[in-house]
Structure 1
Amino acid sequence: MASVEIRDVRKSYGALQVVHGVSAQIADGEFVALVGPSGCGKSTLLRMIAGLEPISGGGIRIGEREVNQLPPKDRDVAMVFQSYALYPHKTVAENMGFALKIQKVSKPEIQERVRRAAEILDLTEYLDRYPRALSGGQRQRVAMGRAIVRSPAVFLFDEPLSNLDAKLRVQMRGEIKELHQKLRTTTVYVTHDQVEAMTMADRIVVMRDGRIEQIGSPLELYDRPANMFVAGFIGSPSMNFLRGRVEEGPRPQFHSNSGAVLPLGRVPRSAIGREVVYGIRPEHLHLADDCVPAEVLVVEPTGAETDVVVRLGDDKVMAVFRDRFSAMASSTIHIAPNLDEIHLFDATTQERLV
């Protein structure tokens, strides 16, 4: 195992710069997820750690070694790709042990490493099967086993669950997290799915346009997002945003540009009279008599929860109610925000105020 240090790393393709001076420290044994929308540079950064892409500037250290000039085979990393990339003419055992065979590892040692990895991944009974006889989740576990047998210092995952159906993704999330808890190998995991990152990672690196927006634990990013981008990206359904002003009174209130008036908790004096963006997560809105009137637009029961789209002034807002709820479209309900869970952002810079 080893730590990973990413120091002012940049990547350019000719005149086009796609990664702009990224820096991050990944501790030994830590599980870190790189998240962000398509094109943000997360997979490019992962490939630079692996040595599959040369860096244009900065430095990368794995453990005590600077690896900028080292080829991938000498970096002591193992990568699991989005596609399983299994050899169809080789058995599970042969697929898992192939990299060791290329390295001239002895046959008994290969068999022992494959056996141990198969036990960890619950693949023992499939070692003699060919990939065509496996399900998608089993193939992904074989790809993970191929990485495990190498006993690398760092695991690199590049959106490994993207090709699986929703139910299998949930199952595999748990299996990868359990695997990390068993092995405690430093892991860097790229995904566009923030739910994967929230449920699996020790820390999350949120990227946009080749830059890091915020680094923190899942709940740090959820509770105190640094800006509107992080606030909208982390959490599902995403945070509601309304533009308007904070008005002073016996108690400060938020007046949206579309005519809605919402209560506030404590706000800094600097926010009074200022153009701001009011952020509230759907799960932090609840039903309350004689509070903010809202017109019901859509009701979506999901079983344990009910998603409700309402209109506040001219803004559409999503609310999530934990209890069973039914209402007709165009009817009026009254909702209230949890005052301790309100976020205010600067309307110009989009940085967090409170």
Structure 2
Amino acid sequence: MSQVLVRDVRKAYGALEIIHGVNIDIADGEFVVLVGPSGCGKSTLLRMIAGLESITGGKILIGDKVVNNVPPSDRDIAMVFQSYALYPHMKVKDNMAFSLKLKKTDPAVVEERVKSAANILGLTPYLDRYPRQLSGGQRQRVAMGRAIVRNPQVFLFDEPLSNLDAKLRVQMRTEIKELHQRLKTTTVYVTHDQVEAMTMADRIVVLQDGNVEQVGAPLDLYDNPANLFVATFIGSPSMNLIKGKAKIINGEVFVDAGGTLLPAGTKHQVAEGQDVTYGIRPEHIELAEDGFEAKVGVIEPTGSETMVFVHAGGNDLLVLFRERHTFTTGQTIKLKPRKDAAHIFDTATGKRI
């Protein structure tokens, strides 16, 4: 196992630079998720760590060794792709053993590692089957097993669950996390699904347009987003955003949104009249007699919670209730955001105040 250090790494295709001086420190044994929308550069960055893409500038270290010019086969990494990339003519055990056989590893060692990986992944009954005889989840386990047998310093996962159905994705992300807890191998995982990132990561790296927007533990990013992009990207459902102007009354900060005063407590350093964006997560808006009026639109009950889309003062908001309420479309209700959970962003820069 080893740390992975990304130092001012850049990637350009001709005059077009798509990775702009990225710096990330991944500790030995840590599970780090690179997350962001399509085209943000997360897979390109992962492929540079793997050696499948050249580096235009900066350097990458695995352990204490700079690997910029080291071929993938000599980096002591193992990669699991979105596509399973299994050999259809080989049985499961041969797919898992293939990389070791190429290195002319002792057959006894190969057999021992394949059996150990199969036991960890629950693949022992399927070792003599071909990939076509397996389900999607089983094939993904085989791909993971092929990585495990190499006993690498670093695991790299490139959106490995994208081809699975929703229920199986939930199961597989739990299994991958359990696998990491068992093996303690440094892991870099790429996904566009922020729920995967939140549930699996020790730390999350949020990327946009080839830049790192924020790095932190999942709940740190959820509770303290650095800017509007992170605030809206992390969290499902997304944070409500309301534009307005800062107003200070008796030392308390409010946001004047078209005549409605939204409470924000005393922790924000803003100037009177400053253009700001008020952020509040759906679960932090409550029913209150002294709240603002909102008209109920669409109601989405999920069983454990109810999502209610409302229209208030020219803004469309989403409110999440854990209790069950008998709202009707068109009904007027009164809502109040929790001031201790409010966020204020500078509208001009997008940065959290």
Matches of 2:348 and 2:75 in 1, distance apart? 44
Partner of 2:282: 282
Contact 1:294 1:334 in 2 (8 A): yes
Q: Where in structure 2 are the equivalents of 1:240-255 lying within 5 Å?
A: 240-250=240-250, 251-255=252-256
SS at match of 1:271: coil
Partner of 2:159: 159
2:254 maps to a residue whose letter is Q
Matches of 1:268 and 1:100 in 2, distance apart? 57
Partner of 1:19: 19
Q: Where in structure 2 are the equivalents of 1:153-302 lying within 5 Å?
A: 153-250=153-250, 251-257=252-258, 259-302=259-302
Partner of 1:96: 96
SS at match of 1:316: strand
Contact 2:290 2:336 in 1 (8 A): no
Matches of 1:49 and 1:72 in 2, distance apart? 9
Q: Which is further off, 128-137 or 245-254?
A: 245-254
Alpha-carbon offset, residue 267 of structure 1: 4.4
TM-score, normalized by length of structure 2?
0.98
Matches of 2:40 and 2:217 in 1, distance apart? 20
Contact 1:4 1:25 in 2 (8 A): yes
Tell me, which stretches of 5 or more residues in structure 1 are unaligned?
Answer: none
Q: Which is further off, 268-277 or 1-10?
A: 268-277
2:220 maps to a residue whose letter is E
Contact 1:253 1:264 in 2 (8 A): yes
Q: Which is further off, 181-190 or 290-299?
A: 290-299
SS at match of 2:44: helix
TM-score, normalized by length of structure 1?
0.98
Matches of 2:267 and 2:331 in 1, distance apart? 32
Q: Percent identity?
A: 63
Partner of 2:58: 58
SS at match of 1:248: strand
Q: Say whether residues 1:86 and 2:86 are aligned partners.
A: yes
SS at match of 2:96: helix
Alpha-carbon offset, residue 329 of structure 1: 1.1
SS at match of 1:140: helix
Alpha-carbon offset, residue 269 of structure 1: 4.9
SS at match of 2:249: coil
Partner of 1:334: 334
Contact 1:213 1:230 in 2 (8 A): yes
Q: Which is further off, 290-299 or 148-157?
A: 290-299
SS at match of 1:143: helix
SS at match of 2:270: helix
Matches of 2:89 and 2:34 in 1, distance apart? 34
Contact 1:48 1:54 in 2 (8 A): yes
1:153 maps to a residue whose letter is Q
Tell me, which stretches of 5 or more residues in structure 2 are unaligned?
Answer: none
Matches of 2:299 and 2:106 in 1, distance apart? 62
1:331 maps to a residue whose letter is Q
Partner of 2:36: 36
Contact 1:80 1:158 in 2 (8 A): yes
SS at match of 2:238: coil
Alpha-carbon offset, residue 215 of structure 1: 0.5
2:313 maps to a residue whose letter is G
Give per-residue Cα distances to partners, 1:73-117, cap 9 Å, x unaligned.
Answer: 000000000000111111110100011011111211111100000
Query: How many residues of Structure 1 are paired with residues of Structure 2 in the alignment?
Result: 352
Matches of 1:214 and 1:269 in 2, distance apart? 21
Contact 1:299 1:326 in 2 (8 A): no
Alpha-carbon offset, residue 266 of structure 1: 1.4
Give per-residue Cα distances to partners, 1:284-338, cap 9 Å, x unaligned.
Answer: 1112223121110111000000000011111100010001122111110111111
Alpha-carbon offset, residue 268 of structure 1: 3.6
SS at match of 1:190: strand
Contact 1:260 1:312 in 2 (8 A): no
Partner of 2:4: 4
Contact 1:253 1:263 in 2 (8 A): yes
Give per-residue Cα distances to partners, 1:220-262, cap 9 Å, x unaligned.
Answer: 10111110101111000010100001223345432114x4332
Matches of 1:268 and 1:154 in 2, distance apart? 41
Aligned-residue Cα RMSD (Å) equals 1.0
Matches of 2:179 and 2:219 in 1, distance apart? 22
Matches of 1:290 and 1:209 in 2, distance apart? 42
Contact 1:5 1:24 in 2 (8 A): yes
Matches of 1:218 and 1:271 in 2, distance apart? 31
Contact 1:33 1:197 in 2 (8 A): yes
